[in-house]
Every structure is written in structure tokens, then in C-alpha cells.
Amino acid sequence: MDTIYLLINIAVMLGIISVLIYMQKKHVSFSKRVFTGLGLGIVLGAILQWAYGSGSEVLSQTTDWYSIVGRGYINFLMMIVVPLVMVSIIQSIINLQKTAELGKMSGWIIGILISTTMVAALVGILTATVFDLSAEQIEAGQAESDRGLMLEDRLVDVENQSTPQKILNFIPSNIFLDMTGQRSTSVIAVVIFSIIVGIAVLGLRRKNPEQAEMFTKMVNAVYAVVMRIVTLVLRLTPYGILALMANTVASTDFAGILELGKFVLASYVALGIMFILHLILVGVFGLNPLTYLKKVIPVLGFAFTSRSSAGTIPLNIAAQKNSLGVDQGVANMSASFGATMGQNGCAGIYPAMLAVMIAPSVGINPLDPGFILQLVLIIGISSFGIAGVGGGATFAALIVLSSMNMPVALAGLLISIEAFIDMGRTALNVNGSMVSGTLTSRILGKLNLKTFNDKTAIEETSSL
């Protein structure tokens, strides 16, 4: 009987996919197809959980089959992340007129990312205080205890490295290893290597312009091919979001969410406040926040469902260039940097809230100015090199809590709601990188205001 139910569930998924394919043939815009997939995925996931209940064998098998579409799409995106980051950054640098432009561009992007992360930490501290969050209010079950032990084991690896050693991890010693994404700092290592290659070409242009020109043409050709691959993969977005959302809703532990509802509410309030601050920042620089919001929502929707900042890089770059009018080089760098550093949600709000929750249990007053200053500074420094995939927030929390001499095991108490909160955190991370790109392009005078203000520019992605 279970097999029959499984086949029915698969048939329903295939039926919805056929509806999305029909919409594409009728030239329905890309953003509308994405949100249709998102909405239908939520409905399908809710029905599956209501019909079978969490933990049922049928539901487990169904989500496994749905993962072929959902996780398969994520895998395709991750497949193109490294070549896209590498080629796009090299191309961005070699097309610069002056080397000094690189310093200004990267300086503004990194500055905005890190400063907004430190502001996010203050928002996390404020929210945790207002909601009176405390680790002592949460009961630990077997899963939470196991999670706490796992975090303590991971902490050993983190603590065994000094600060200089952690910095050395950013520097690539084997670029081919980092191209496989085997390290948490692989993406930032690829970024550093790509910057070095770009700078080398600029130097070669002065000494041997013919060879530099030949290399530039080759990079531009490879970039065109990579972007074509990106376009092909992004066409699968509505189907990927459908499956991802269905699986997420179907397997969400709603009982755990209700039990820890206070922390969930506080987390999303903090995320919402920071998101509003992003929009205010956009407005301060003379841009319409609502126009910005309409153009980034499809990207944020994918980030929300996929929980992968790195996987969102292709969509991030495309939206910045085609919808927001951001300079190509700035878009490439802000999306790449934003997936590895200065993540407002994972590296800013989350560790700050945990620190405030845990502080009283070790006799620390979380409202002490010295504690707050130390926490914000540590968060700003440790926000470099956070992995841009699901789980990056845990790594950030390990670094921050251990640096503040706090027990990391208590972070395991939130395991039942980790995935649900991580969705919102990832969306905020990606929005932070898009804000940094938009503002940097604006500051450097490279923002195409005509494209930004063009309400139909977002529809350019409908050709996907």
C-alpha cells in the first residue's frame, strides 16, 4: 500500500512540474513561475505532512524522490559556483582601467558587508534582550544532547587553530583542492586566487600587451560560456524551488517550532528589523527601496528555500546586473564575497542571540557594555570565511562562543528549529550581499539608474 501512495505522490509532483512547463511555454514571466512553484510547494508539503505525519516511511521515501529535483537543482548550482566565481572575478579585474579601482571596489564591498554584520549583531543582542531569551528556559532531549556533544567535538578542531592559522586557511595552497569545495574556506580561497590572477594580467598588460590581450580574449570567451551554463541551470529554478519547498514543509518539525516559538519569533523579528535597515540604507543613498525590493524578491525566495548563500550566487549576480543595474564587476565580487564573509544572518544575528542567551548561565551580564563591545568586535572579525552553505551559522556560533569563553553545547538546544530559522538567515545573508553590491556601484558612480528604475527590467529574466 505504501508503494501506491508513493507513486501517487510522485505523480502529483510530475503533474505540478507539467503545469510550470506549460506556464513557460505560454511565456509567463520567470518571477511569476518562481512564486508559483514556491506557493505550490508549500501547499504540497503541508498536504503531505497532514496526510502521512512526520517520520512516516511514505513521507521519507517521497521526500527522497522529490530530492532528485530539489537537491539535484542545488547540485547543479553548486557545480557552476566555482567556475563562475573564478572567471567572473578575473574578468572583472582585467577589464578595469586602473588597478586602484580594484582596491576601491573591494574595500567598499567588504566594508559594507562587515559593518552591516556588526549592526546585525547589535540587533540580535537587542532582540534577545527584549524577548528575555535564556538557554535555561529550553529543555534538552536526547537529540539536543547529541547535538551539543557534536558541537563540542567540532569545537576541538576550531580551538586547535590559532588566529594566524585561521587566516592562513583563507590562502589557497592547492587551488585544485579548493575548486572541489572541500574546505569551508574554499570559495574565499578561489576568490583570492582569482584576484591574484587578475592583478597578474594587469601587470602583464604593461610588459607584454599582446599576451595579456590574448589571455583577456580567452577569459571573456570562457565567461560567455559559463554564463550560458548559468542561464541553462537557472531555467530549472521554478522546479527546484517547488521540490525544495515541498520537502521543507513536509519534514518541518512544527511541534519543535511551537515548543521553541519564543526563540523562533525573536529570530524572525531580528531578521525583519535588519532587512528593514537594509532598505533604509538603500533609501539613504537616493534609491527607491520598494523598487529594489520588487527586483530582489525572486532571489531571496530561492535563498529562503535552498538555505545556500553559495548556491544563490548565480541568481544573485544575474539580478544585480539585469534588474538593479549594478556594474558587472561589482556584482561578481559582491555576490562572491557575500557568500563567504559578512553574513548578516548567520554570522551576525545568530551568534549574538546565542551569546546573550548563554551569558547568564556562566555568570555574565549580557547588558554589560564591555561584553557587548567585545561580542560585536569578535562577530565582525569572525564573519570572514563563513561557509556559504547550510550549517555556516553553526560554524560562526562555534567561533564566537569559544572566543567569548562560553559553552558551545547549549547551542545544540535549538536543533529542532535550526533549519526553519536558517531559511530566514540565508535570505538576509543574500540580501546583504546584494545591498553591498548596489551601494558600492552607486558610490563608485557605476550604477545604471535607468535599469534600476525600469520597472520592467526584472522581466528580463523571463527569458530564462
Residue 58 has pLDDT above 70, yes or no: yes
Specify the residue for cell string 545573508. Answer: 429
For 87, 169, 243, 297, 318, the CA distances from 462, given in Å and listed in that order, are 25, 40, 20, 14, 12
Helix (H, G, I), strand (E, B) or coil at 384: strand
Q: How confident is the model at residue 166, as a pLDDT? A: 64
Place 143 in a pLDDT band, splitting at 50, 70 and 90: very low
| Sign, Cα dihedral of 162, 395, 383, 189 | positive
Residue 390 has pLDDT above 90, yes or no: no
Residue 251 has pLDDT above 70, yes or no: yes
Place 462 in a pLDDT band, splitting at 50, 70 and 90: very low
Residue 108 has pLDDT above 90, yes or no: yes
Residue 461 has pLDDT above 50, yes or no: no
The domain locations on the chain are: 2-463
Q: How confident is the model at residue 332, as a pLDDT? A: 85
pTM: 0.80
Cell reading at 31? 518571477
Q: Would you say 223 and 87 are in contact if contact means Cβ atoms under 8 Å apart? A: yes
Residue 336 has pLDDT above 80, yes or no: yes
Average the pLDDT over 100-105 and give the result: 80
- The dihedral region occupied by 5, where left means phi > 0, alpha psi between -120 and 50, and beta the remainder, is alpha
Specify the residue for cell string 598588460. Answer: 205
Q: What are phi and psi of 341, to 5 degrees?
A: -150, 160
Fold of 2-463: Proton glutamate symport protein (1.10.3860)
Q: How many angstroms separate the most distant Cα atoms in the chain?
A: 74
- Residues in CB range of 155: below 8 A, 6 or more apart: 398, 402, 408
Average the pLDDT over 152-165 and give the result: 55
Compute the distance between CA of residue 231 and CA of residue 315 in angstroms, rounded to an integer: 9
Question: What are the start-end ranges of the E strands in 268-372?
Answer: none
Average the pLDDT over 308-316 and give the result: 83
Residue 443 has pLDDT above 90, yes or no: yes
Compute the distance between CA of residue 71 and CA of residue 430 in angstroms, rounded to an integer: 19
